[in-house]
Each structure stands twice: as structure tokens, then as C-alpha cells.
């Protein structure tokens, strides 16, 4: 679902490149990160299907982990960029409007990718697989990282940089935006009657809720365990519970890539219009292909009807002759 939805979003954005602006550029990069993220999931599905056994070796484990985490946090950062972009457009258009120019936004997008690359490259220097009892080899499980020195401090810093700062920025920007839109609706009766402010506030709330619900559980879970690890030494039962909760919360993070296309659909009028037009066009082509018959087949179709009609007449005559006898 995530791959299909984001591929459709990518097609719509590319078809609308003539109207390229800051929002479109951030959305394009967000879609690309979601597509790359979903492409890494089949390897994880194979791992779970094998009963938490990784048969593909250390190198592929590191590559899949790198793609998974890089595109997770690329998505987080581009969602943050979108919130700041909307904030500048509505609240501070004159003072910081230059940051919304397409040329500057391109540099910002490159900077985001380089930042995320720097955050995730250290994964290649960490042990990602571990041989367990029974011949099983685990991949990207937390106990595999415990061999790294100061892993608790490293992960706490990663949570602050990759989640707490972005979520704080998003919530602050969208809270101020909602206040500004409510004030605008009160002072401008035309805006209030059109319902645009209510719709915009609804979309903002939806984006914020999806972001918090998908990303908070994983990072809160990771943060609390690392703090406990620094303060005390959790026992085996705590470690097992932590591992189970990580698998559940990672699934919630995966869900975000599936929900983003639905947010595009309801939030962006241009995306909704172009997507419906595309689906309508594909439906028309399919219907036309189904009902259209080639020149040669028209005769066959007519001849077939004639044969069927003649057969029915012959059967009818046979029945009549039988009744008369």
C-alpha cells in the first residue's frame, strides 16, 4: 500500500513540475524517502518469515539497516521542513520568505540528505548480526549493539537529534499556524464562511497526530530504556520486554509510509484532482479496450450470433416436429 500510494504521489508531483515550489520540493523528497523505505521492508519481512533468522550475511544486514534508518529519519526531517515552510508562508512571509525560494530549498534538501547520511553511516561500523543458539542469526536486534561502547549515550543523543527536536519544531509551528488561522477566520467573515480555515486546521491536526502516533512510541521506548540502563542495570526480563516492544513500535513507524499518501490526498487539492484524473483516464482506457473489437473480430462476432440463432431455430423445429408426432 505504501509503495503504490507513494509511487502515485511521485507520478503526480513529477507531472506538475511546471508549478515547482518549496512545498512541492519538500513533498517530492518526502515521497522518495518513503519509497526507498518501503523497498527495504521485503528483507525485513523475509527475516521475520524465517523466524528471526537472517540468511543473507552481515553486509546485506548492514545495507538493509542503513536504508531503513536513513529513510526513516529523512522522512522525519522533510516533514519538519514542511511544517517550517508552512509557518514561514503564513506567519513570517516577509522576513524569511527567501528561504522558500526554489533555489534555496534545493540546497536545504541536499543538506537534509547529507545530515541524515552522517547520522546513519556509523551503522556500518557497528555489529549488526549475531549468532544465537540453534543456528539462528539475528539482524538489527538491540542486543547486537550492546557490544558498542557508550551505546546508551549514543542512542539518547540520536533520539534527541532525530525525534525530539523535529517533533518539538513541528508541534510549535503547527500550533502557531492554528492560532493564526483561527484569528484570521474571526476577523475575516469570508474566510470563515468558506470553511478553508477549518479544513486547514483539520489537516494540520491530522498530520500532527499521525506523526506523533507513528514515531513517538518507538523513540519514547528507546529513550526510557537507555536512561534506565545508565542509572541501573535492567535484568533479562526487562531486556526481553524491551525487545518485544521495539518490534511493535517499529511496525507503527512502518505504518507512517502507508499513511502519508492519504494525507497528500486529503490535504492537497492539486494532488487529489490529478490523482482522480489519472485514475479516471486509466479506467476509460481499460473500458475502451474491453468494449473495442478489431475489424476482423466484428465479423466473427456477427457470424457467431448467426450460428447461435440458427441452432436455436433448428432446435425449435425439432421440438415442434416431436410434438406433432
Please, which residues bridge with residue 139 across strands?
129
- Going by pLDDT thresholds of 50, 70 and 90, the confidence category of residue 319 is very low
Q: Contact, 185 vs 200, CB < 8 A?
A: no
Residue 289 is predicted with a pLDDT of: 44
Residue 19 is predicted with a pLDDT of: 73
Half-sphere exposure of 210 (CA within 13 A, CB side): 20
- Going by pLDDT thresholds of 50, 70 and 90, the confidence category of residue 168 is very high
Examine the pLDDT at 258 and tell me if it is beyond 90.
no
Q: What is the pTM of this model?
A: 0.78
- Going by pLDDT thresholds of 50, 70 and 90, the confidence category of residue 205 is confident
CA angle 270, 104, 112 (to 5 degrees): 85
Q: Which CATH architecture has domain 2-272?
A: Up-down Bundle (1.20)
Examine the pLDDT at 286 and tell me if it is beyond 50.
no
Residue 182 is predicted with a pLDDT of: 81
Give alpha helix (H) positions in the chain: 2-15, 22-49, 57-90, 93-96, 102-120, 142-145, 151-159, 165-187, 189-194, 196-231, 236-267, 269-291, 295-324
190 DSSP 8-state letter: H
Examine the pLDDT at 295 and tell me if it is beyond 50.
no
Examine the pLDDT at 185 and tell me if it is beyond 90.
no
- Average the pLDDT over each of 69-78, 178-187, 244-253 and give the range with the smallest value: 178-187
Residue 109 is predicted with a pLDDT of: 96
Q: Mean pLDDT, to the nearest integer, of 169-175?
A: 92
Residue 197 is predicted with a pLDDT of: 66
Residue 97 is predicted with a pLDDT of: 86
Residue 274 is predicted with a pLDDT of: 67
| Cell numbers for 22 | 518549496
Residue 278 is predicted with a pLDDT of: 66
* Torsion 75-89-114-220 (CA) sign: negative
Task: Give long-range contacts, CB 8 A cutoff, 24+ apart: 112-115.
Answer: 112/29, 112/74, 112/77, 112/78, 112/81, 113/29, 113/74, 115/77
Q: Of 170, 23, 33, 34, give the one whose Cα is nearest residue 105.
A: 23
Residue 279 is predicted with a pLDDT of: 65
Examine the pLDDT at 318 and tell me if it is beyond 50.
no
- Going by pLDDT thresholds of 50, 70 and 90, the confidence category of residue 144 is confident
Number of residues written out for the chain: 325
Residue 256 is predicted with a pLDDT of: 86
- Going by pLDDT thresholds of 50, 70 and 90, the confidence category of residue 159 is very high
Three-state SS annotation for 65-128 = HHHHHHHHHHHHHHHHHHHHHHHHHHCCHHHHHHHHCHHHHHHHHHHHHHHHHHHHHHHHHCCC
Instruction: Please name the residue that has the C-alpha cell 457470424.
Output: 303
Amino acid at each position: 500500500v505504501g509503495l503504490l500510494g507513494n509511487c502515485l504521489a511521485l507520478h503526480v508531483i513529477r507531472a506538475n513540475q511546471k508549478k515547482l515550489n518549496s512545498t512541492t520540493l519538500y513533498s517530492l523528497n518526502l515521497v522518495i524517502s518513503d519509497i526507498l523505505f518501503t523497498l527495504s521492508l521485503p528483507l525485513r519481512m523475509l527475516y521475520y518469515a524465517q523466524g528471526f533468522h537472517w540468511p543473507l550475511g552481515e553486509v546485506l544486514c548492514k545495507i538493509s539497516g542503513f536504508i531503513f534508518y536513513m529513510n526513516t529519519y529523512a522522512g522525519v526531517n522533510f516533514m519538519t521542513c514542511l511544517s517550517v515552510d508552512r509557518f514561514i508562508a503564513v506567519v513570517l512571509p516577509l522576513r524569511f520568505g527567501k528561504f522558500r525560494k526554489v533555489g534555496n530549498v534545493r540546497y536545504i534538501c541536499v543538506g537534509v540528505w547529507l545530515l541524515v547520511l552522517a547520522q546513519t553511516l556509523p551503522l556500518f561500523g557497528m555489529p549488526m548480526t549475531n549468532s544465537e543458539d540453534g543456528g539462528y542469526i539475528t539482524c538489527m536486534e538491540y542486543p547486537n549493539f550492546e557490544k558498542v561502547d557508550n551505546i546508551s549515550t549514543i542512542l539518547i543523543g540520536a533520539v534527541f537529534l532525530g525525534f525530539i527536536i523535529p517533533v518539538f519544531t513541528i508541534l510549535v509551528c503547527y500550533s502557531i499556524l492554528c492560532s493564526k488561522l483561527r484569528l484570521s477566520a474571526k476577523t475575516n467573515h469570508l474566510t470563515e464562511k468558506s470553511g478553508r480555515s477549518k479544513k486547514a486546521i483539520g489537516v494540520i491536526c491530522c498530520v500532527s497526530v499521525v506523526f506523533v502516533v507513528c514515531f513517538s512510541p518507538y523513540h519514547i521506548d528507546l529513550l526510557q530504556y537507555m536512561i534506565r540502563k545508565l542509572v541501573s542495570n535492567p535484568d533479562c526480563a526487562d531486556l526481553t520486554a524491551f525487545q518485544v516492544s521495539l518490534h511493535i513500535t517499529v511496525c507503527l513507524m512502518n505504518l507512517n509510509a502507508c499513511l502519508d499518501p492519504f494525507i497528500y490526498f486529503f490535504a492537497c487539492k492539486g494532488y487529489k484532482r490529478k490523482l482522480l484524473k489519472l485514475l479516471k483516464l486509466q479506467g476509460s482506457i481499460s473500458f475502451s479496450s474491453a468494449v473495442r473489437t478489431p475489424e476482423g473480430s466484428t465479423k466473427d462476432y456477427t457470424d457467431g450470433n448467426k450460428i447461435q440463432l440458427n441452432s436455436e431455430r433448428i432446435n425449435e423445429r425439432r421440438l415442434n416436429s416431436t410434438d406433432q408426432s
